[in-house]
Amino acid sequence: MSMTDNTNARLEGIYRYPIKGLTAESLASVELKPEQTLPFDRAYAFANGPGPFDPNAPKHLPKMHFVMLMRNEQLAAIRANFNDATQVLTLYQDGHDVARGDLTTAEGRAALEAAIARVVTTGLRGTPRIVASPGHSFSDVSAKCVHIINLESVRALEAKMGTTLDPLRFRPNLIIDGLPAWSELDMLGHKLRVGEAVLEIFKRTERCAATNVNPTTALRDQKIPSFLSRTYGHTDFGVYARVIEGGYITKGNAVTISEAASSQQQ
């Protein structure tokens, strides 16, 4: 595969979300594997009361079945730390521990579920319940993939809206800087080499009301999907990409791009 160094793009950030809806964890480096998410990305979720998720037969379900930012903005007030080796999750609020539990034990899950029930005061249909299944990801899309945000597009949207926007509002796995603003939306089928890995963009990200929640203050302080629709005629911001060649990626890696195969043949 031919890759062309046609940008000054760099990987500016790597993030994962071990618990769906909770805060991002920044990574300096990570190994990507073909057709997989980042390790432990959305590996756990809080089911919103009784729900249809079956850990013995896991299927992709709409996010409405889970506690999530679109309806439960108080989640943004919680900071989370996940330990890969021990599977222990620690929750913080206002700089203080509010719960710590081993996600592999009933006792640990119960302590974490009780903490979420105390913090999330609206939009619950019952006691939050931690759910997981080996190898399953509670992403908003069924494909196992990586979510990419272009920092220049964030800056362009900030200029249009006349405000500052934390890129983490858009829940990225990878933040890339140096691409022309909005260019990623026209890159379906394009391949990106980042470090040792190659990814292929396959879908634009349609934004929902979760982006209205400020990840620092937990307040709904913007109306991003409606602004995108009024201004650009769509609600797309960011793209999804599949990992087609695995390997390590590191913050600061150069990003090189190839055109889609159909474009190369023209």
The structural domains of the chain, with segments of one domain joined by +, span 10-36+141-261, 45-131
Percent of the chain's residues with pLDDT above 90? 79
SS3 state of residue 230: helix
SS3 state of residue 3: coil
Specify the CATH superfamily of domain 10-36+141-261.
PK beta-barrel domain-like (2.40.33.20)
Which contiguous run of DSSP H or E holds residue 157?
A: helix 151-161
SS3 state of residue 196: coil
Q: Is the full-model pTM beyond 0.95?
A: no
pLDDT above 60 for 264? no
Q: Where are the beta strands (DSSP E) in 17-106?
A: 25-27, 29-32, 45-47, 79-82, 88-93, 96-102
Structure tokens at 128: 């939050």
Chain centroid offset of residue 87 CA: 20
- Residue length of the chain: 266
pLDDT of residue 159: 98
Residue of 53, 76, 56, 54 whose CA lies nearest to 64: 53
Q: Are 253 and 35 contacting, i.e. CB atoms less than 8 angstroms apart?
A: no
- What average pLDDT does the segment 139-151 reach? 96
What's the CA angle centered on 217, arms 19 and 37, to 5 degrees? 25
- What average pLDDT does the segment 11-18 reach? 97
- What average pLDDT does the segment 206-226 reach? 92
pLDDT digits (tens, 9 = 90+) for 83-126: 999 999 999 998 899 999 999 999 999 999 999 999 888 888 88
